[in-house]
Chains A and B, each alone.
Chain A
Amino acid sequence: MINKVINFVEDTVSDVQDGAVILASGFGNAGAPNCLLEALMETNAKYLTIVANNAGEGDYGLAALISSGKVSKVICSYPISSGSTIFQKLYNTKKIDLELVPQGTLSERLRAAGAGIGGFYTRTSVGSLLATNKEKRQFNNIEYVLEYGLKGDFALICGKTADRWGNIIYNRSARNFGPIMATAATTTIAQVEQIVKLGEIDPEFIVTPGIYVDKVYLKK
């Protein structure tokens, strides 16, 4: 019997290795997989690269993980927000690297990786500092910039409801990066608020089919 449900949070991230690329869902705190990020903090893995929209806020979740010194690089669109003091302090003292990516390009790079697409051309950032040294190409006399797919070793996502096959639905705007990151990592781990029996989620409404999900953890 397939059962992707993991009972102990420490078993969700125990195989994360040094140097792993971790995709972490969330837009601010909405949809941030804080349980899983805090479990990752308790492992020995270090030199992690985090891919997320933001760089954590307050002293919990992603901010706590960054503050633990295990993260050497953040790939995100917007690291500064109210309460994002931990990242800013490490950045200003050059203890953490930042790769800044426009938000739509970030999500499309993840989509590409999850869909087996090596790269794509977008108009976003053309001519700006963020397109420096990137390959350009014209289509119908409009200039585009080449962006590469962005694959993770692990995706940590946050859903509302799951079943033992790993089918997931989300909670309002906490959906954000979850469904895309789920497709873009070798191993996808979801923390959810509720686990139901197979068949209880209307198949017409499943957002992330279980094929993309490896482990499900019921948030305590």
Chain B
Amino acid sequence: MNSQKNQMGLNRRQVAWRIAQEISEGSYVNLGIGSPELVANYIPEGREIIFHSENGILGMGPAPRPGEENGNLINAGKKPVTLLEGGSYFHHTDSFAMIRGGHIDICVLGAYQVAQNGDLANWATLDTSKPPGVGGAMDLSVGAKKIFVMMDHLTKDNEPKLMKTCSYPETGFGVVKTVFTDLAVIDIFDSKFIVREMVETLSFTQLQSKTGAQLTLSDNFKTLTPPNLD
């Protein structure tokens, strides 16, 4: 996601903050590699959430202090993490049984594209110069109870990422529940993009022009107003 300060929309810390507000007490949550990892930093004080990491951790804690990293304790992005009291380790097959078996409440994933029917494209581009990699994305997309997507509203080339149908290879079909972008919070319901929140610097018509499929304004629409997080 765009890490530079964007006058029109949210920075990625603000998007992470917005997603964190959506996660309720007691949830078991898997955070995808990259920007979704930031969500853990903005869970409201006093709200207890248990983070799952596909490589066999429940109760994953924040990054260790410098000098206290342990190469045997890493997250899905292979970065050093810590374990909270009450946390546990388990092998890969248990970890993916938790995922596919519907035991994870929420998974936050990045995406290249999301279609209005909830199809998710986040594992392969059309670039054949690199070997493909899928990791746990397909397991998570079909297994978690709710899939949240965290992504920029537009590509770097200003192409829409919210589409009628994905042009990139799909990871999962009809799986995305809510998309959190730098401009809006959009639920997927009945194969429609329902705009629940959007930034006040943009009109609905402008948001529509940045989106590759029809948007519908929610009856419960609100302005998206995150705190300042630089």
Contact = CB atoms under 8 A, between A and B. Distances in A.
B134 interface: yes
Given A124-B143, A172-B83, A104 B96 contact: yes
Contacts of B36: none
Given A27-B55, A174-B72, A80 B139 contact: no
B131 A91 contact: yes
A96 to B, nearest CB: 9
B136 A102 contact: yes
Contact of A30 (B74, B143, B171): B74
A92 interface: yes
Interface majority SS on B: helix, strand, loop or mixed? loop
Contacts of B134: 77-78, 100-103, 130
B129 A92 contact: yes
Contacts of B78: 27-30, 81
A107 B72 contact: no
Contacts of B138: 102, 104-105, 124-125, 128, 130
Nearest to A131: B138
B72 A173 contact: yes
A7 interface: no
B92 interface: yes
Interface string B143-156: 10000000000000
Contact of B74 (A78, A92, A128, A173): A173
Interface stretch (A11-19, A37-45, A62-70, A175-183): A175-183
Contact of B169 (A98, A107, A129): A129
B54 to A, nearest CB: 7
A207 interface: yes
B198 interface: no
B31 interface: no
Contacts of A111: 93
Q: Which of B78, B93, B95, B129 has most chain A Cβ within 10 Å?
A: B93
Given A77-B135, A107-B93, A129 B74 contact: no
B5 interface: no
Interface in B56-102: 56-57, 70-74, 78, 83, 89-93, 95-97, 99-100
Contacts, number: 136
B173 interface: yes
B91 to A, nearest CB: 4
B197 interface: no
A183 B67 CA distance: 36
A123 interface: yes
Contacts of B173: 126-127
Q: Which of B74, B137, B170 has the most CB of A within 10 A?
A: B74
Instruction: Categorize the interface residue count of chain B.
Output: 35 or more
A88 B128 CA distance: 11
Nearest to B123: A128
A79 interface: yes
B112 to A, nearest CB: 14
A115 B103 CA distance: 23
Interface of A: 27-31, 53, 55, 77-81, 87-88, 91-92, 98, 100-105, 107-108, 110-111, 122-130, 170-180, 207
Interface of B: 53-57, 70-74, 78, 83, 89-93, 95-97, 99-100, 124, 129-139, 142-143, 169-173
Closest 5 CB pairs of A and B: A104-B96, A104-B139, A28-B78, A174-B72, A107-B92
11 contacts: A53-B92, A77-B135, A92-B131, A102-B135, A103-B54, A103-B136, A105-B139, A108-B97, A124-B139, A129-B169, A173-B72
Given A81-B78, A103-B54, A108-B96, 14 more contacts: A78-B134, A88-B131, A98-B132, A102-B137, A107-B91, A110-B93, A123-B142, A127-B173, A130-B134, A173-B56, A173-B73, A176-B91, A180-B92, A207-B91
